């Protein structure tokens, strides 16, 4: 993880962009699958070991990894920010 605040913010922006791309790809795959009849979803590319199923699992696993990294960097940024000045 980056150690400088600016580096962390750049990394956070890149991860947020990646998350958006992953979200779109996953939503597109879900829409494609939803259009298929149930019997076609059980065989071929959408079968448990099919190419589309493997791709979907890869995308959702990466999505979870990216989200974990976003949370960690977000916390690190919050921890590195100066405390708010007192009103007193």
Tell me: the pLDDT tens digits for 43-70? Answer: 889 999 999 999 999 999 999 999 999 9
What confidence category does residue 85 fall into, taking pLDDT thresholds of 50, 70 and 90? Answer: very low
- HSE (side-chain half, CA atoms, 13 Å) at 59: 19
Examine residue 86 and state whether it is found in any structural domain, yes or no.
no
Examine residue 84 and state whether it is found in any structural domain, yes or no.
no
Examine residue 19 and state whether it is found in any structural domain, yes or no.
yes
CB 81 within 8 A of CB 88: no
Examine residue 44 and state whether it is found in any structural domain, yes or no.
yes
Q: Mean of the pLDDT values across residues 6-25?
A: 97
Domain count, the chain: 1
- Give me the domain span that covers residue 36: 5-79
């Amino acid at each position: 993880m980056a150690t400088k605040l600016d580096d962390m913010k750049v990394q956070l922006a890149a991860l947020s962009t990646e998350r958006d791309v992953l979200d779109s790809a996953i939503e597109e795959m879900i829409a494609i699958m939803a259009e298929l009849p149930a019997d076609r979803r059980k065989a071929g590319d959408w079968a448990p070991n099919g190419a589309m199923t493997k791709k979907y699992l890869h995308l959702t696993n990466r999505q979870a990894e990216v989200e974990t990294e976003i949370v960690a960097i977000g916390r690190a940024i919050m921890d590195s920010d100066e405390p708010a000045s007192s009103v007193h």
